[in-house]
Amino acid sequence: MTANLRRRKLFSRVFEVLCALAVVVALIPLAMILFYVIKEGAGALNWDFFTKMPKPVGETGGGMANAIVGTLILIGIAALFAIPVGGICGVHLAEYPETKFSSAVRFAADVLNGVPSIVVGIFAYGLVVLPVKRFSALAGGVALGFLMVPIVVRTTEELLRLVPGGLREGALALGATRSRAVFSVIVPAALPGILTGILVALARVAGETAPLLFTALGNRFWSTSLTQPIASLTVQVYTYAQSPYDDWHRQAWAGAFLLVMIILTLSIAARLAVRRLERMNRP
């Protein structure tokens, strides 16, 4: 073996090791974040956290009942319009994948997905808060919904495309109209996957903080009104994290733990659903 070749092979080897190292380097923060969230958060999570209201400044104890309910209401509003809009849009893209219009919409959805969430928050502010001059749950929900639309669009499209082509042809061959074929055969076949995809999208927007700061604002009190400011887990964690109180820090970690657990569970569920669909698709 020539010296040159030996040098090349050494170089290759060094490079391969560096790539492996890159994986390790990236997994360190992941492990650390999960470790701290579990260590600090799991212990702080108790029954009170789910059922009690925040205590006044300076008192320890209490929980985030209002924020948990607030987050549920916010993502409920988001889901209410993001799922139909995103879902039907996804159906259109999957059914007419090659048209210019579809390419434009797909492109717009991808670009929208890259627009910072805080910018979308400003949009919701201008649309919902400004006209009535009041922060509200509705505004927060709308902001989250806008963020959710592109995710639902792309998830729905991708999952519909995984449905075996034979199913569609079978339905059409039996004389079904396009809409019937889609809604009675194709969508149901992909439904478990789409539903988990939607759950992941919900989990993702539930983790958003920035767009809520000036739409839903936050609320230390119990409120379920759509026209009033409302608390949310993320904004509460944000506020608590920046406070000087240890007990609030503890609760912030508990909130983070809850968020991470929800997201982990849902993303694992989604993964299993997609895998099942792919297996079904295999000949």
Partner 1 sequence: MRRSSDDRSFRLGTGAFAALVLLLVLGIAFELTRQSMLSIAKFGLKFWTTSTWNPVSGDFGALPFIWGTLYSSILALLIATPIALGIAIFISELSPRLLRQPLAYLTDLLAAIPSIVYGLWGVFVLVPFVRKLEVATPDALKKIPLFNGPPLGVGMLAAALILAVMVIPFTSSVAREILKNVPSTQREAAYALGATRWEAIKVAIGFGKSGIIGAVMLGFGRALGETIAVTMVIGNSPQVTASLFKPQYTMAAVIANEFTEAADELYLHALIEIGLLLFIITVAVNIISRLLIWSMKRRVVAPIAAPIVPAEEALA
Partner 2 sequence: MTASVLQSIRSTTLESPSPPRFLAGEKVPKADEGAELAQDFVSARTPNEQTMTESKISVRNFDFFYGASKVLHGISLEIPAQKVTALIGPSGCGKSTFIRSINRMNDIIPEARATGAIMIDGQDVYGGDTDVVELRRKVGMVFQKSNPFPKSIYENVAYGLKIGGMRNKRQLDEIIERSLTRAALWHEVKDRLHASAMALSGGQQQRLCIARALAVDPEIVLMDEPASALDPLATSKIEELIYELKDNYTIVIVTHNMQQAARVSDRTAFFMLGKLIEYADTNAIFMNPKEKMTEDYVTGRFG
Q: Which residue has the tokens 């989604």?
A: 270
Q: Which residue has the tokens 């944000």?
A: 238
Q: At 177, is the secondary structure helix, strand, or coil?
A: coil
Considering beta carbons, is residue 5 or 30 the nearer one to partner 2? 5
Q: Rounded to the nearest whole angstrom, what is the least distance from the CB of residue 117 to partner 1 in the complex?
A: 7
Q: Which residue has the tokens 């669009």?
A: 153
Considering beta carbons, is residue 118 or 162 the nearer one to partner 1? 118
Considering beta carbons, is residue 175 or 283 the nearer one to partner 1? 175
Which of partner 1, partner 2, none does 50 bind, CB closer than 5 to 8 A by kind?
Answer: none
> Taking CB under 8 A as the criterion, which residues in 1-40 touch partner 2?
1, 4-5, 8-9
Binding of residue 178 to partner 2 (CB under 8 A): no
Q: What residues pair up with 54 in beta bridges, in sequence order? A: 62
Tell me how far apart the alpha carbons of residues 45 and 48 are, in angstroms, rounded to a whole number.
Answer: 8
Which of partner 2, partner 1, none does 241 bind, CB closer than 5 to 8 A by kind?
Answer: partner 1
**Number of alpha carbons in the 13 Å side-chain half-sphere of residue 253:** 19
Considering beta carbons, is residue 12 or 227 the nearer one to partner 1? 12
> Taking CB under 8 A as the criterion, which residues in 53-92 touch partner 2?
none
Q: Rounded to the nearest whole angstrom, what is the least distance from the CB of residue 202 to partner 1 in the complex?
A: 13
Q: Rounded to the nearest whole angstrom, what is the least distance from the CB of residue 212 to partner 1 in the complex?
A: 10
Q: Rounded to the nearest whole angstrom, what is the least distance from the CB of residue 283 to partner 2 in the complex?
A: 18
Considering beta carbons, is residue 33 or 165 the nearer one to partner 1? 33
Token pair of 235, please?
A: 């904004």
Phi first, then psi, for residue 208 (nearest 5°) are -75, 140
Q: What is the dihedral of CA 267, 273, 279, 282, to 10 degrees?
A: -100
Q: What is the DSSP secondary-structure string of 60-86?
A: --B--HHHHHHHHHHHHHHHHHHHHHH
Residues that bind partner 2 (CB under 8 A): 1, 4-5, 8-9
